Amino acid sequence: MIFKGLSGRIALWFLAVFVFVAFVGWHQLRDITSIHNKATELEMVNHQSHRLHELETGIRKLIDIVRNYLITGSAYHIRDFRDADNRVQRIIDHARANGIEVSKVESTLKDVSMLASKIFALPFSTGNMEGPILMQEIDEKLGELSQSLSSRHHEMDESVNQSMSMVSGLHVDMRYDIMVSLILLFGLLLGLSVYLYLRMIHPIILLRREVGRIENGDFSPVSPDLGDNELGTLSLALNSMGQTLLHRNDELVQAKSLAAHQEKMHALGLMTASIAHEVGNPLTATAALLDLARHKLSRGEHDAADKPLNEAVQELRRTEMMINNILDYGRISSQESEPVNLDAVIESAVQLVRLSSKPNGIRLISHKDSNLPSACGNIDMLRQVMVNLLLNAVDACQANGEICIESHSDDQYVYADVVDQGEGVPESMAEEIFSPLFSTKPKGEGTGLGLSISRDLMRKMSGELELIAGDAKECRFRLSIPLMSED
């Protein structure tokens, strides 16, 4: 079907408007043509009437010349008659050119000229009766001609009146037709505008709103049902796309969580070699202290056994704290926000990094703010980010270097700066280093995901990770965590 769908119906509306405008235009053109024809006819009739009037005037002048001759007998009147007769002949020629039937006028004028010639040939005498007789004959012929011309004038007047009446009627009809046409055209355009708004503009506004919702990360398929047309198909496609994006987003979240956990496991792997040593030493010391306490107890030295027993308890508690710290770091994060003591997180991260095989004589120094307020975040996420930054700082520092961790706050955020004395980061790479799979380490020594995952974790907590300074003297990364709301 030609007019199928929304575009077809809109095309049908435009076709209706075009046909209506074409019909009105044709109708108005026909009326204008009729008015033009009548105006031309009126102009022609006016010219004919003017010529007839000139003809009547010229013939009347001829008669007056003949009458004056009968009275005066002057030869000048004969010359005037010939001049007037020539003018009348020219008027007759013009009348014939304007389409006036002048054969009867010519015949009558010929007879009048013959009678006038006879009068001019008579000897002048006041008692001559032949001249008045001939003059009477001329009057009779001119009377018949006058009636004929009057009849012609009457016919022309009727034709003019009819034409004027018709033109006036056409003017009225045209005004009425134009008024009705404008009303109908306004109705058509109003209907088209309403149809376009309801069927196209409003649905497009709804679709734009849905696109904005998808753009803001809400992929739930709630696009409106716009019917069986092109926009309806587009709405269904948006729903399908939203569903696909929702599925892909879930997969991406899972992939990011898995990548974050794998990055955490990678850090734990670096600590594995030192864990046995760090746990083994306290256990060996504890065994020796317990053996010493047992020996003293067997000898009845109960008071002397208290000291090795207390020291053994302290070693076991230190070992327990170390193991709990490792277990806390290795578990899957709940991702729920809670009040966070940032200094405690820093201390835990420093302890974990010291377990790794990387420090190589590098000193980890914490500059704490004793009045640091609680932050709103997730302990596990913050610890993972801090461990990642510290491990990167250790890689960047040379042997026996120094890494400083500084904490401070303002009215909105709690901050932790990790400052190393490595080679720094070029200004051109200030943002590129946060891209996935980007790494400045030698091949095989890094995944290129650490900073990308760390920034993603910070933004999940409404915080931020950024490079503040990256010159050749130092490299400063800053963690920004929102303050805990008093509510």
Res. 90: pLDDT tops 50 = yes
Mean pLDDT value of segment 336-346: 85
Does residue 405 carry a pLDDT above 70?
yes
- Measured CA to CA, the distance from residue 32 to residue 171 in angstroms comes to 9
pLDDT in tens, 389-404: 888 888 778 767 788 8
Question: How does residue 371 score in pLDDT terms, banded at 50, 70 and 90?
Answer: confident
Query: What is the separation of C-alpha 196 from the centre of its chain, rounded to a whole number of angstroms?
Result: 16
pLDDT tens, position by position, 286-305: 777 777 777 777 777 777 77
What mean pLDDT is predicted for residues 338-354?
84
Range with lowest mean pLDDT among 72-81, 379-388, 457-466: 72-81
CATH topology of domain 340-487: Heat Shock Protein 90 (3.30.565)
Residue pLDDT, tens place only, 467-482:
887 566 678 888 999 9
| Amino acid 170: pLDDT | 65
Give the tens place of pLDDT for each residue, 229-267. Answer: 777 777 777 777 777 777 777 777 776 666 666 666 666
433/4: higher pLDDT: 433
Which amino acid does the sequence have at 310?
Answer: N
Of residues 276 and 300, more confidently modeled = 300
- Give 334's contacts (C-beta < 8 A, 6+ positions apart): 378, 380
Query: Closest by alpha carbon to 366, among 401, 402, 418, 405?
Result: 405
- How many whole angstroms from its chain centre is CA 279? 66
Check if the beta carbon of residue 465 is closer than 8 Å to that of residue 454. Answer: yes
Say what the pLDDT of residue 4 is: 59
In this predicted structure, the answer to whether residue 459 has a pLDDT above a threshold of 80 is yes
Local structure of 125: helix, strand or coil? coil
Mean pLDDT confidence for 16-32: 77
Label residue 1 by pLDDT band (50, 70, 90).
very low
Neighbours of 414 (CB within 10 A): 26
Cβ atoms of 345 and 391 within 8 Å: the answer is no
Lowest mean pLDDT among 66-70, 373-377, 397-401: 397-401
C-alpha to C-alpha distance for 33 and 398, rounded to whole angstroms = 101
Q: What is the DSSP string of 468-484?
A: EEESSS-EEEEEEEEBP
Cα 274 off chain centre by: 62
Task: Please give the average per-residue pLDDT across 74-94, as a whole number.
Answer: 81
Q: Dihedral, CA atoms, 58, 60, 63, 68, nearest 10 degrees? A: -100
Q: Which segments of 299-360 does DSSP mark as H helices, in order?
A: 302-330, 342-355
User: Measuring CA to CA, how many Å separate 378 from each of 151, 187, 332, 340, 372?
Assistant: 116, 64, 12, 7, 17
Highest-scoring range by mean pLDDT, 108-117, 311-320, 338-347, 449-458: 338-347
Residue, of 344 and 176, whose pLDDT is higher? 344
d(CA 405, CA 352): 14
What is the predicted pLDDT for the residue at 2? Answer: 52
Q: How far apart are CA 210 and CA 201, in angstroms?
A: 14
